[in-house]
Amino acid sequence: MSRALLIVDVQNDFTEDGALAVAGGDAVAAAVTAFLAAHTGDYAVIIASRDWHDADGDNGGHFADAPDYVDSWPVHCVAGTTGAAYDPLLATDAVTHHVLKGQGRPAYSMFEGQTEAGETVGAILTAAGVLSADVVGLATDHCVRASALDAIAHGVRVRILTDLVAGVAAETSDAALAELVHAGAELVESADA
């Protein structure tokens, strides 16, 4: 059975000192790196996504001067900027596919993005015969949630590695995890993966 690791948006703008910092983001980056060092061989594909928003315009209403933090946000992860780069604590040498999303429009799920070669996450998983995926990254209550739900919709058995994710807020993160369990995801710690 082929398994994938999905690394969601571990970027400077979502870790400490970023435009939309998630508390514990740097710790997640470092922990994912340690996990990869021990488990790279467990995965047929390792896909990492990044928000990669256009510098011009509001990206389909995603950017706002007075954001509501639900559907609109401050400027973040602009393509080619330091904020859009992977957190330096995340080692990406084992990543097999890099996916960019949100180019000119809102996008939360990595399934909405594509590689530079135009491959979608769904197509990559199908081509590799992936039947299960472990999901890690940022933020639990937004892009991790959306990516995991789309993986489930794609027919993939999903595990959320709970010590390798961090969310914006405890209440919304708990709600997202509960929703994911209801949708069929399993919650496990990375030591038990």
Catalytically active residues, by annotation:
9, 101, 143
Q: What share of the chain is helix, strand, coil (3-state, %, to 5)?
A: 35, 25, 40
Among left, alpha and beta (phi > 0; psi -120 to 50; other), residue 113 is: beta
Closest by alpha carbon to 178, among 151, 136, 148? 148
Using alpha carbons only, give the angle 160, 35, 133 rounded to the nearest 5 degrees. Answer: 35
**Calpha distance 42→184 (Å, rounded):** 22
**Calpha distance 25→1 (Å, rounded):** 31
**Calpha distance 182→176 (Å, rounded):** 10
Where are the strands (E) in the chain, listed by range?
A: 2-8, 45-51, 97-101, 130-138, 157-166, 186-188
**Calpha distance 132→114 (Å, rounded):** 20
